[in-house]
Amino acid sequence: MAIGEIINHDGARKKGFAMWRGFNRVMLACAIAAGMGVAPARAEYPEKIVKIVVPFAAGGGTDIIARTTAQDIQTELGKSVIIENKPGAGTIIGTQTVATSDPDGYSLLMATFAHAVNPSLYNKLPFDPHKDFAAVSLIARSFNIVVVNPTSKINSIADLIAEAKANPGKLNFGTFGTGTSAHLAGELFNAMAKVKMTAVPYKGAAPAISDLLGGQIDVMFTTVASAASLVAAGQLRALAVTSAERSTAFPQLPTVAEAGVPGYAAESWYGLYAPAKTPAPVIARLNQAVAKAVRSGGFKQLEANEGLIMVGGAPEQLDRYVGQEEERWRKLVKDANIEVQ
């Protein structure tokens, strides 16, 4: 082979090797980029159905608020939001379900009054109400309403006090669980009116109201959401509201304080929680959805008809509010010697 041919052949070989090496480097860089450096962007939350756990039976006040919330935030989130009712053990069963769920924003808790009171009622809970949850939003505050069967001879708070004093321990008031707003509102009434009525716990507002309608219990300090439609239909008789001031939704009703128990006031509330360690962007997304929801037509109707005070504030507001409520009711639980059976 001539020297010129050898040189040309060797040059082509070197050039081919250089091209092959360059190609391999490009392919390696692409593989690294695909596998490590520039992975496909993660889809925005939510990617699937969101579940709100209600720790009460279906049909009660908390259930109504939860379903209104679900209906409105699913429009904002762009995914279905469903309700799962898990009543029992003073809301502990449903609450624990969320506490042990994956912190991904797909299992949420509609918490209420009991969330702030259970730490005072139980020596040990299967979850930590502070450490195991991330606040999303305080949806609304409300008051309870004192109701009786329309066939009852009790027509006022004064009548209720008189009947309770005449028959100590014989009047029964229904609750939707030990430590719920309906329970402690009644216990606060016992303490401040100096009477003794017996609490009868149920697994939710709906079964308790059913027994009130049937005459098995005498009175309830129930949530407005659970009783308003029945009061309007004449199926229940309302005696008073438990708020510090009269409600624009029930201007004809006195407060319990006005009607014979000076200084009396009891409030209920609804707050949305996610499991602890839920990513901050997910919490922010949910909080934004709730803030829009509380301005919706569904909540405006509840506000007008039932006297709800809509909030929809920042997560920190829910944390502060629940801390204050926890402190407020701790003394009553201790003084009334309220124990979980």
Rounded average pLDDT per 10-residue block, the chain, 341 residues: 44 46 46 45 82 91 92 95 93 96 98 92 92 97 95 98 96 89 94 96 90 97 89 96 91 96 93 98 97 90 83 95 92 87 59
Nearest to 205 by CA among 87, 94, 305, 92: 87
Q: Specify whether the CB–CB gap between 121 and 90 falls below 8 A.
A: yes
Distance CA 197, CA 160 (A): 10
DSSP 8-state secondary structure symbol assigned to residue 101? S
**Alpha-carbon distances, residue 104 vs 131, 138, 149, 289 (angstroms):** 16, 20, 45, 16
Cis geometry, peptide bond prior to residue 129 (ω within 30 degrees of 0): no
Q: Which runs of consecutive H residues, i.e. helices, occur in 33-155?
A: 61-77, 92-99, 113-121
- DSSP bridge pairs for 175: 201
pLDDT at 25: 52
Tokens 């469903």 label which residue?
82
Nearest to 142 by CA among 250, 237, 287: 250
- Amino acid letter for position 224: V
pLDDT at 176: 84
What are the structural domains of the chain? 50-141+267-335 (3.40.190.150), 143-241 (3.40.190.10)
Nearest to 48 by CA among 98, 4, 97, 102: 102
Distance CA 83, CA 107 (A): 10
Q: Specify whether the CB–CB gap between 138 and 69 falls below 8 A.
A: no
